[in-house]
Amino acid sequence: MNAEIEELYQEVILDHSRRPRNFGELADAAVRVHGDNPACGDEIHLGVKFDAGGGLQDIKFTGHGCAISQASASLMTMKLSGKNRAEVMEMLQAFHNLVTDERSEAPKTLGDLVVMRGVRKFPQRVKCAMLAWRAVEQALEQGTGEASISTEPA
Ligand code: ZN
Protein backbone atom coordinates (compact mmCIF):
# COMPACT_ATOMS: atom_id res chain seq x y z
CA MET A 1 0.00 0.00 0.00
CA ASN A 2 1.48 3.39 -0.86
CA ALA A 3 2.06 6.09 1.74
CA GLU A 4 -0.53 8.45 0.32
CA ILE A 5 -3.36 5.93 0.68
CA GLU A 6 -2.17 4.96 4.13
CA GLU A 7 -2.33 8.62 5.15
CA LEU A 8 -5.83 8.95 3.77
CA TYR A 9 -6.93 5.86 5.74
CA GLN A 10 -5.39 7.37 8.85
CA GLU A 11 -7.41 10.54 8.33
CA VAL A 12 -10.69 8.64 8.01
CA ILE A 13 -9.96 6.72 11.21
CA LEU A 14 -9.12 9.90 13.12
CA ASP A 15 -12.21 11.64 11.78
CA HIS A 16 -14.48 8.80 12.92
CA SER A 17 -12.83 8.53 16.33
CA ARG A 18 -13.17 12.28 16.93
CA ARG A 19 -16.67 12.64 15.49
CA PRO A 20 -18.21 9.19 15.78
CA ARG A 21 -21.40 8.63 13.76
CA ASN A 22 -24.49 7.07 15.34
CA PHE A 23 -23.08 8.00 18.73
CA GLY A 24 -25.54 8.13 21.62
CA GLU A 25 -28.12 6.13 23.53
CA LEU A 26 -30.73 4.28 21.51
CA ALA A 27 -33.81 5.01 23.60
CA ASP A 28 -35.97 2.07 22.48
CA ALA A 29 -33.22 -0.49 21.96
CA ALA A 30 -34.32 -4.14 22.03
CA VAL A 31 -30.92 -5.25 23.22
CA ARG A 32 -27.97 -3.49 24.83
CA VAL A 33 -24.49 -4.97 24.85
CA HIS A 34 -21.57 -3.75 26.87
CA GLY A 35 -18.25 -4.65 25.26
CA ASP A 36 -14.94 -4.55 27.07
CA ASN A 37 -11.42 -4.79 25.73
CA PRO A 38 -9.32 -4.77 28.91
CA ALA A 39 -6.01 -5.20 27.08
CA CYS A 40 -6.38 -1.66 25.69
CA GLY A 41 -9.04 -0.11 27.94
CA ASP A 42 -11.65 0.20 25.19
CA GLU A 43 -15.35 0.14 26.01
CA ILE A 44 -18.36 0.08 23.72
CA HIS A 45 -22.02 0.24 24.71
CA LEU A 46 -24.16 -0.85 21.81
CA GLY A 47 -27.92 -0.43 21.43
CA VAL A 48 -29.76 -2.30 18.69
CA LYS A 49 -33.33 -2.19 17.44
CA PHE A 50 -34.58 -4.90 15.07
CA ASP A 51 -37.06 -4.65 12.22
CA ALA A 52 -39.93 -7.11 11.72
CA GLY A 53 -37.66 -9.51 9.83
CA GLY A 54 -34.98 -9.53 12.53
CA GLY A 55 -32.64 -7.22 10.63
CA LEU A 56 -30.82 -4.27 12.18
CA GLN A 57 -33.21 -1.35 11.98
CA ASP A 58 -31.24 0.99 14.17
CA ILE A 59 -27.90 0.79 15.87
CA LYS A 60 -26.13 3.30 18.10
CA PHE A 61 -23.18 3.25 20.41
CA THR A 62 -21.38 5.13 23.11
CA GLY A 63 -17.97 4.36 24.50
CA HIS A 64 -14.41 5.41 24.89
CA GLY A 65 -10.99 4.03 24.10
CA CYS A 66 -8.41 4.12 21.36
CA ALA A 67 -9.05 5.60 17.91
CA ILE A 68 -9.18 2.15 16.30
CA SER A 69 -11.93 0.86 18.60
CA GLN A 70 -14.11 3.97 18.30
CA ALA A 71 -13.62 4.46 14.56
CA SER A 72 -14.37 0.79 13.93
CA ALA A 73 -17.63 1.11 15.91
CA SER A 74 -18.60 4.30 14.08
CA LEU A 75 -17.91 2.85 10.63
CA MET A 76 -19.64 -0.39 11.60
CA THR A 77 -22.90 1.27 12.68
CA MET A 78 -23.03 3.14 9.36
CA LYS A 79 -22.45 -0.05 7.44
CA LEU A 80 -24.79 -2.41 9.31
CA SER A 81 -27.84 -0.20 9.68
CA GLY A 82 -30.68 -1.70 7.63
CA LYS A 83 -28.86 -4.98 7.02
CA ASN A 84 -30.45 -8.37 7.61
CA ARG A 85 -28.95 -11.06 9.80
CA ALA A 86 -27.19 -12.96 7.00
CA GLU A 87 -25.67 -9.76 5.65
CA VAL A 88 -24.41 -8.79 9.10
CA MET A 89 -22.76 -12.19 9.67
CA GLU A 90 -21.22 -12.09 6.21
CA MET A 91 -19.81 -8.63 6.83
CA LEU A 92 -18.52 -9.63 10.24
CA GLN A 93 -16.59 -12.49 8.65
CA ALA A 94 -15.31 -10.27 5.85
CA PHE A 95 -14.20 -7.62 8.32
CA HIS A 96 -12.45 -10.18 10.52
CA ASN A 97 -10.59 -11.44 7.46
CA LEU A 98 -9.70 -7.88 6.52
CA VAL A 99 -8.03 -7.13 9.86
CA THR A 100 -6.35 -10.52 10.37
CA ASP A 101 -5.49 -12.04 7.01
CA GLU A 102 -2.55 -10.61 5.06
CA ARG A 103 -3.82 -12.20 1.88
CA SER A 104 -7.37 -11.00 2.22
CA GLU A 105 -8.62 -8.81 -0.60
CA ALA A 106 -11.15 -6.35 0.75
CA PRO A 107 -14.56 -7.21 -0.69
CA LYS A 108 -16.41 -4.21 -2.12
CA THR A 109 -19.27 -4.76 0.31
CA LEU A 110 -17.06 -3.48 3.14
CA GLY A 111 -16.91 0.04 1.64
CA ASP A 112 -15.21 2.53 3.95
CA LEU A 113 -14.37 -0.20 6.44
CA VAL A 114 -11.41 -0.98 4.22
CA VAL A 115 -9.57 1.83 6.04
CA MET A 116 -9.14 -0.58 8.96
CA ARG A 117 -7.00 -3.01 6.99
CA GLY A 118 -3.77 -1.50 8.40
CA VAL A 119 -4.66 -3.20 11.71
CA ARG A 120 -3.48 -6.55 10.32
CA LYS A 121 0.09 -5.34 10.80
CA PHE A 122 -0.58 -4.90 14.52
CA PRO A 123 -2.04 -8.12 15.96
CA GLN A 124 -2.56 -6.54 19.39
CA ARG A 125 -4.97 -4.02 17.81
CA VAL A 126 -7.23 -6.65 16.24
CA LYS A 127 -9.25 -6.86 19.47
CA CYS A 128 -9.72 -3.08 19.37
CA ALA A 129 -11.05 -3.26 15.80
CA MET A 130 -13.26 -6.31 16.53
CA LEU A 131 -14.78 -5.09 19.82
CA ALA A 132 -17.87 -3.42 18.32
CA TRP A 133 -18.36 -6.37 15.96
CA ARG A 134 -18.25 -8.88 18.80
CA ALA A 135 -20.83 -6.74 20.57
CA VAL A 136 -23.16 -6.74 17.56
CA GLU A 137 -22.68 -10.50 17.17
CA GLN A 138 -23.79 -10.91 20.78
CA ALA A 139 -26.75 -8.58 20.20
CA LEU A 140 -27.94 -10.75 17.31
CA GLU A 141 -27.46 -13.94 19.29
CA GLN A 142 -29.34 -12.63 22.29
CA GLY A 143 -32.01 -10.52 20.57
CA THR A 144 -33.30 -8.89 23.73
CA GLY A 145 -32.26 -7.60 27.15
CA GLU A 146 -28.75 -6.79 28.31
CA ALA A 147 -25.45 -8.52 27.78
CA SER A 148 -21.75 -8.08 28.43
CA ILE A 149 -18.88 -9.37 26.38
CA SER A 150 -15.15 -9.19 26.82
CA THR A 151 -12.31 -9.78 24.40
CA GLU A 152 -10.49 -11.62 27.18
CA PRO A 153 -11.51 -15.18 28.01
CA ALA A 154 -13.41 -15.30 31.30
ZN1 ZN B 1 -7.90 -0.19 21.65
CATH of the domain at 77: 3.90.1010.10
Read off the pLDDT of each residue in 32-58 and give the average, rounded to a whole number.
Answer: 96
- Give this prediction's pTM: 0.94
Pairing, β 145-150 against β 31-37: parallel
What is the tally of structural domains in the chain?
Answer: 1
User: Measured in angstroms, how far is the CA atom of residue 127 from the centroid of ligand 1?
Assistant: 7
Describe the strand order of the beta sheet including 145-150 as a list of residue ranges. 56-64, 42-50, 31-37, 145-150
Greatest alpha-carbon span in the chain: 45
**Do 9 and 115 form a contact (C-beta atoms < 8 A)?**
yes
**Do 142 and 128 form a contact (C-beta atoms < 8 A)?**
no
> For residues 62 and 3, what is the distance between their CA atoms, to the nearest angstrom?
32
User: Measured in angstroms, how far is the CA atom of residue 129 from the centroid of ligand 1?
Assistant: 7
Which stretches within 19-54 are classed as H helix? Answer: none
User: Measured in angstroms, how far is the CA atom of residue 4 from the centroid of ligand 1?
Assistant: 24
Residue 136 has pLDDT above 70, yes or no: yes
User: Measured in angstroms, how far is the CA atom of residue 54 from the centroid of ligand 1?
Assistant: 30
Read off the pLDDT of each residue in 62-83 and give the average, rounded to a whole number.
Answer: 97
User: Measured in angstroms, how far is the CA atom of residue 35 from the centroid of ligand 1?
Assistant: 12
For the chain, count helices (H), then strands (E). Answer: 4, 4
**What are the angstrom distances between the C-alpha of 110 and each of 32, 37, 149, 153?**
24, 23, 24, 28
Question: By residue range, what is the domain housing residue 57?
Answer: 3-150
pLDDT tens digits, one per residue of 84-124: 999 999 999 999 999 998 887 777 889 899 999 989 888 88
Percent of the chain with pLDDT over 90: 79
